[in-house]
Chains A and B, each alone.
Chain A
Amino acid sequence: MTKAPPPVSTMIMRGIFEENPVFRLALSLCPAVAVTTSVKNGLMLGVAVFVVQVLSSVSASALKGIINPKIRIPIFTIIIAIWVTVMDMTLAAYFPVTYQQVGLYVKLIVAFAIIISRMELFSMKHNIVPSFWDGFGMGLGFLVAMVLAGAFRELLGSGSLFGFEIVAFKPLLLVILPAGGFFTIGLIMVLYNWVDLRLGHKLPEEKVGGGCHH
């Protein structure tokens, strides 16, 4: 039973704006807060999640014929774990320096809510190509969120961007601390909602989850 998929552009924009995993769905907030102390770290985790999301969505869609609904959760977990391990091995082999910084969080991707929820909500009901684009959009949305939050925090917290010094002082040290991470994400959420209101949409109250879903 496959549903007709929305157009590709809609699926990609949905991941970045309307259903952005971090700013709209409030999923995976803990790693988002922990990693986004600099653009570089945010970017690395964002890329890792992007790759895992796309591959997992495609795999779940490809295997949906043999996945019995009663045991779909363990199978999803196996699929995610495979691609996370592949990502982990690839980073360790070819990007050793960055791996030392974000290695711990890469392993944690297994438990990210956003990935398993897209498999459950989309891949199980759609074919491989639409699942690819859904994963692409959602992964990109997470990547954008990581870079945005990372840029905001690095700029205000350490006065630099991508490790290059922009100003010689630290404008607002608070934002680099864990509490500042939540403030940052809250502020960007406000921005998202404000833009949405200006565009004439209603606030998606029922969509916003909350809490610390990995």
Chain B
Amino acid sequence: MVPAQAGRGPGDAVMSAQLEQQQAPPNATEMMRIAVGLTLTCLAAAIVLGFFFYLTEPAKVRNIQAREQAMIQTLLALTPAARIHEVRRYLHWKGQTLEVLYLTPRALVRVDEAGNPLDTREVPAEVAAEKSPDHKDAWVRQSAGAGENANFNYAGRFFIGEQDGAVAGYVVEGSTPGYKTWIRYFLAIDARFGVQGLEVIEHEEDPGLGAEITQRYFKNQYAGRRFEQIDAIEVIKDPLPNDWRKRLEQLGDMDLDSWVRENRAEIDAHPQIHAITGSTISSVAVTNGVKRSLRNFRKRMRIVEAYL
């Protein structure tokens, strides 16, 4: 606080009075006014944000779905005429017993923890045609007899690509703990539980290091391998041989079937996954995720196969 001194101009006195007022602790009225001002601002903010959220959310969801569909099409080499079906999985705890539910395009399958079927229920046409996942989940929750607060959780999904009336392959959505947060990926699987391809959707690994998991030379190392090969796979730190790397980078420019046929010997000659230089953690994370997804898919597929 600057005391008003003799010898100063009248302007200084005004200045110091203002300064004094600004530095004094606020009284009750002022506190009230601040609180009301802040509340009004936040209220207006909530209204604006809510309005724009309501306006843009459907388009955003459509964009994400379109992106997923495009990714599945590329992974399974489908034509635009192909159909993609979704299977959603749910966990329902009834006290100590766990029930697993699968929502396929045709049926809602209820199984116990060991995978033994309990019962099935037909899916109404309007639920099957429903685009919004929230509505599907709500229908399943209701059908399972799970109340609002029951232990009922959505637990992942996979897609079936159908080309000209025949199954062209499956895509599993999976996630695995990476170096920082979860790495989300799409894993394309063929009818014999081999890997067709891998696409990383979302990750926060470091640029230039872990972020390299999105590069062809890394993710294509999984392609064309049979179930047993993936199950036994290990991550090694040896640098990726140059000619193998060149071949890996070709996949994407050429289709999977001819790439696998051409490179069968090479794939078998490199039974291990070469880690990205300096990013063993990210490499191991992806490999573990692929292994786990594949094993789980094999188990789950046996359960729902009859209801697809």
The verdict on B40 contacting chain A, using a C-beta distance below 8 Å, is yes
The verdict on A195 contacting chain B, using a C-beta distance below 8 Å, is no
CB <8 Å contact, A85 and B49: yes
CB <8 Å contact, B37 and A93: no
Cα-based distance from A12 to B160 in the complex (angstroms): 56
Identify which of B41, B55, B63, B67 contacts A79 (C-beta below 8 A).
Answer: B41
The verdict on B30 contacting chain A, using a C-beta distance below 8 Å, is yes
The verdict on A63 contacting chain B, using a C-beta distance below 8 Å, is yes
Contact code string A66-86 (vs B, CB < 8 Å = 1, else 0): 111111001100110110011
List residues of chain B with CB within 8 A of the CB of A85.
49, 52
CB <8 Å contact, A78 and B60: no
Contact residues of A between 134 and 176, Cβ < 8 Å to B: none
CB <8 Å contact, A70 and B52: no
Tell me if B's interface is mostly helix, strand, loop or mixed.
helix
Given A70-B34, A86-B48, CB of A93 within 8 Å of CB of B56? yes
Q: How large is the interface on A (under 10, 10 to 19, 20 to 34, 35 or more residues)?
A: 20 to 34
List residues of chain A with CB within 8 A of the CB of B42.
78
Least CB distance, A149 to chain B, in whole angstroms: 22
CB <8 Å contact, A86 and B49: yes
Residue of A nearest to B66 (CB): A96
List residues of chain B with CB within 8 A of the CB of A63.
41, 44
CB <8 Å contact, A75 and B22: no
CB <8 Å contact, A71 and B56: no
CB <8 Å contact, B41 and A66: yes
Besides the contacts A66-B36, A94-B59, what 11 more A-B pairs have beta carbons closer than 8 Å?
A67-B41, A68-B33, A69-B22, A75-B38, A78-B41, A78-B42, A79-B45, A82-B48, A89-B52, A92-B63, A93-B56
Interface residues of A (CB under 8 A from B): 63, 66-71, 74-75, 78-79, 81-82, 85-86, 89-90, 92-94, 96
Can you list 18 A-B contacts with CB-CB less than 8 angstroms, sorted by A residue number? A63-B41, A63-B44, A66-B36, A67-B37, A68-B30, A68-B34, A70-B26, A75-B37, A75-B41, A78-B45, A81-B45, A86-B48, A86-B52, A89-B56, A89-B57, A89-B60, A90-B52, A94-B59
